[in-house]
Amino acid sequence: MVAVGRPAAAPSSDGSADGDAATGGPARRLVPVIGTATLAVAGLVLLVLRDPRTPGLYPTCPVLALTGLACPGCGSMRALASLGHGDVATAWAYNPLALVAVALLVGFWVAWAVRAVRGRARSRPARPWVLLTGAALVVGYAVARNLPALAPWLGPLATAQGQ
């Protein structure tokens, strides 16, 4: 009897099945890890070379343009450009959440790279309460950064300065 479903993968030169990232060779397992890092660095280089603080280079945030309210991502490109220039204080002033997100993403990337080098399978997905807590924090941040009393600390620097 022939099994129906996913066809068996052909063995590769290292004896592992094609498409199985957990058992492929180390170089093969690192391709998506290095590719992701390359894209992230290329994006950062673009923001350093083509400064988002220059009017007209990048589109305006649609939420800010339509409502006058700063969304959770407002100031993120300017924050990343400042971070690329090594100015952490200004990056924080543009969008504190962006710096927290960058730190989390770098941590997740390092964990992914370690798993790839060790040949371990991807860990289980995040539990629903973790995702809901993260979403609630982002929504809370969006509300807090638009409160007049907190805008000087949480609002995007350019918006707070009236630029």
DSSP letter string, 75-93: THHHHHHHHHTT-HHHHHH
Q: Round to whole Å and give the CA distance between 153 and 66.
A: 23
Residue 6 has pLDDT above 90, yes or no: no
Read off the pLDDT of each residue in 88-93 and give the average, rounded to a whole number: 93
Q: Round to whole Å and give the CA distance between 142 and 162.
A: 19
Residue-wise pLDDT tens digits, 22-74: 556 778 888 999 999 999 999 999 999 998 888 888 888 899 889 989 999 99
Read off the pLDDT of each residue in 137-148 and give the average, rounded to a whole number: 93
pLDDT band for position 155 (cuts 50, 70, 90): confident
For residue 153, give the nearest of 73, 97, 105 by alpha carbon: 97
Provide the β-strand partners of residue 11. Answer: 17
φ, ψ (nearest 5 deg) of residue 11: -65, 145
123-135 burial, b if ≥16 CB within 10 A, otherwise e?
eeeeeeeeeeeee
pLDDT band for position 102 (cuts 50, 70, 90): very high
How many C-beta neighbours within 10 Å does residue 108 have? 10
Query: CA angle at residue 142 from 51 to 101, to 5 degrees?
Result: 55
Task: Determine the pLDDT at residue 4.
Answer: 53
Contact 118, 88 (CB under 8 A): no
